[in-house]
Amino acid sequence: MKTINIGIIGAGRIGKIHADHLLRMPGAKIAAIGDLFAGDELRSWAAERGIPVVTTNSNDIMEHPDIDAVLICSSTDTHVPLIKQAAANGKHIFCEKPVSMSVDQTREALAAVEAAGVSLQIGFNRRFDHNFSRVREIVSAGRIGDTHLIKITSRDPSPPHPDYIKVSGGLFMDMAIHDFDIARYLSGSEVVEVYAQGAVLVDPAIGELGDIDTALTTLRFENGALGVIDNSRKAVYGYDQRIEVFGSGGCVSADNDYPSTAVVSGPDGVTRDKPLYFFLERYKEAYMNETRQFIDSLHNGTAVPVSGHDALQAELIALAAKRSLQQGRPVKLAELTTGISSAG
């Protein structure tokens, strides 16, 4: 088995998580890590892990002759240029979601990837979660028959900092985009229409930045199924990530994960601990699995499990949701793919 040499661009929290998974993975080696703000701390972190190159210049990675693949973990505005550059240099690509805030730019990036014939996997980590993938398996196996309704609950334990909200692209593009992807993943069908309602119920500061913190988005799928996603930026009991798929033959649902199964019966009721706090805890294994499958697909020359098309579709749904919210009406995805996407 040839070793895949990896360059990581962006050494924030998620970049380091991917790094730690790759370090334990047979058949992969981290050849370099780059970050605009790389300093002593990152150098010493890399040294402890035997990562030979640390750089502030992504070209050092993009042009490194031994590097087979790059992980793009930098801020969203850098994704498209980095994808194009990586493709031009023949590197395979793993890119965090979303590819961009603009459908046109995402399309350009995808075209570059296709022209170069490299692999591009998108970081929709939830597809690799043990609960969601089990639900998908059950749906795919036909155990619930034809899909009629999909329900997704997706609530964060607390809102991000206002500085992040400003550049996040808004709740739909930043947070619900995962849910849009999961909706497609579970339904096995494309979304054709979106109606979104939003509200500022958690923190007025979010509203002042032009964003919402609570949303209810309904979806209509090509195969006739209906879907609904509810989002909140603040669930005081922790990360709330549940799904339900209802069909002609039954219903499958997945509950949250908990730190333990311990339950206390006492004079005030029967209590268990709160669900796992946030995505790092809940999707710990999912992050590992997605990286492993990326490396595996490179080794085996097989398709990556989450494609650029998947990124584009989720972004289209997010834009449709945004437009629906702004205009107070259901929006067909077709509207966004016929020369009017710039209004999104």
Of 39 and 249, which CB lies nearer to a copy of itself in the complex structure?
249
Which residue type is seen at 40?
D
> Which DSSP state fits 257?
-
Burial bucket for residue 261 (CB in 10 Å: 0-12, 13-18, 19+): exposed
DSSP structure string for 28-67? EEEEEEE-TT--HHHHHHHHHTT--EEES-THHHHT-TT-
Of 63 and 255, which CB lies nearer to a copy of itself in the complex structure?
255
The least distance separating a copy of itself from the CB of residue 69, rounded to whole angstroms, comes to 22
The least distance separating a copy of itself from the CB of residue 243, rounded to whole angstroms, comes to 9
The least distance separating a copy of itself from the CB of residue 271, rounded to whole angstroms, comes to 4
The least distance separating a copy of itself from the CB of residue 340, rounded to whole angstroms, comes to 19
Of 134 and 309, which CB lies nearer to a copy of itself in the complex structure?
134
Give the footprint of a copy of itself on this chain (CB under 8 A).
24, 26, 48, 130-131, 134-135, 138, 143-144, 146, 148-149, 151, 153, 155, 195, 197, 199, 201-202, 214-216, 218, 220, 224-228, 230, 232, 234-237, 240, 246, 248-257, 259-275, 328-330
Of 94 and 246, which CB lies nearer to a copy of itself in the complex structure?
246
The least distance separating a copy of itself from the CB of residue 194, rounded to whole angstroms, comes to 11
* Element housing 13 (H / E): helix 13-23
H runs (alpha helix) in 40-143: 40-48, 59-62, 79-88, 103-116, 130-140
Of 174 and 230, which CB lies nearer to a copy of itself in the complex structure?
230
The least distance separating a copy of itself from the CB of residue 248, rounded to whole angstroms, comes to 7
Of 167 and 264, which CB lies nearer to a copy of itself in the complex structure?
264
> Which DSSP state fits 151?
E
The least distance separating a copy of itself from the CB of residue 336, rounded to whole angstroms, comes to 18
Of 90 and 224, which CB lies nearer to a copy of itself in the complex structure?
224
Q: How far apart are the first and last CA of the chain?
A: 46
Residue 16, helix vs strand vs coil: helix
Using left for φ > 0, alpha for ψ between -120 and 50, and beta otherwise, residue 117 falls in: left
Q: The dihedral of CA 61, 62, 67, 73: what is its sign?
A: positive
Q: Which residue is associated with the tokens 């398709």?
A: 303
Angle at 293 between CA 318 and CA 150, to 5 degrees: 40
Which residue type is seen at 236?
V
The least distance separating a copy of itself from the CB of residue 320, rounded to whole angstroms, comes to 15
Of 84 and 323, which CB lies nearer to a copy of itself in the complex structure?
323
Q: CA 304 from chain center: how many Å?
A: 15
